[in-house]
Amino acid sequence: MTGVTRAEYCVIACAEAWRGDGEVLASPMGLIPSIGARLARLTFAPDLLLTDGEALLVRPDGTTEGWLPYRQHLALVTGGRRHVMMGASQIDRFGNQNISCIGDWERPRRQLLGVRGAPVNTLNHPTSYWIPRHSRRVFVERVDMVCGVGYDHAAGARHHRIPRVVSDLGVFDFTTADHSMRPASLHPGVTVEQVREATGFELAVPDEVPPTREPTAEELRLIREVLDPAGTRTREVAS
């Protein structure tokens, strides 16, 4: 196997979001999170449930595994048995996410997707985030509108948890005293200074930040030969 690309480190980092989850519904949004979820199912998370996004449970190769009626889907969503990995147009130090608008809500400069299911997702089951281009435009001091609920707005929410934020620079979590964001690992070649420069708020940086883990030879084979032989992962993250 040749050298590991940045996109492949991102796949591994996304896959790790579902480690230890058991039999929950994985809902990845985005190409690299989708490859990551399928990789997790094929390796260290065999009980993970994958969906076609409509009414079927599927295997990593896309073949049908079962039926997921809407009522059952909602039961998983509201009972903490789903783990979604969403995107974010903005995210702040406490994990508040915005996908609705940029600027004042009453007169926004940009209209985006809308709130969608972000509040229900974040308050009712674990929610991670995938951000393919880490920048100050995305990692902001304060989101213009709270769609996905962060730790400072989630008091009393039984299933609220943000396991990780994965970007093209590293992996971030909220395992600090005040649940503010910190770098948990950086992809090889990325420095703490580079991450600080690309982040619009002060990160809680530990004394040492480890590198994102290396994929195994089998994981690389699965990514390159089984899950994404066309190399579409490079559309989201360049080498």
Domain for residue 10, yes or no? yes
CB 28 within 8 A of CB 18: no
pLDDT of residue 216: 97
pLDDT of residue 138: 98
- Looking at every residue in the chain, the average pLDDT score rounds to 94
Residue 102 banded pLDDT, cuts 50, 70, 90: very high
Domain for residue 115, yes or no? yes
Domain for residue 238, yes or no? no
Residue 53 banded pLDDT, cuts 50, 70, 90: confident
Expressed as residue numbers, the domain containing 95 is 6-228
* Whole-angstrom distance, CA of residue 70 vs CA of residue 32: 26
10 pLDDT above the threshold of 60? yes
In the chain, what's the furthest Cα-to-Cα distance? 53
| Mean pLDDT to the nearest integer, 140-145 | 97
Please count the structural domains in the chain.
1
14 pLDDT above the threshold of 80? yes
CATH number of the domain within which 87 lies: 3.40.1080.10
Domain for residue 20, yes or no? yes
Residue 15 banded pLDDT, cuts 50, 70, 90: very high
Instruction: Tell me the pTM.
Output: 0.94
77 vs 12, which has greater pLDDT? 12
Domain for residue 121, yes or no? yes
| Mean pLDDT to the nearest integer, 100-117 | 90
Percent of the chain with pLDDT over 90: 84
* Whole-angstrom distance, CA of residue 67 vs CA of residue 63: 12
Domain for residue 56, yes or no? yes
Residue 208, class by beta-carbon neighbours within 10 Å (0-12 exposed, 13-18 middle, 19+ buried)? exposed
Domain for residue 1, yes or no? no
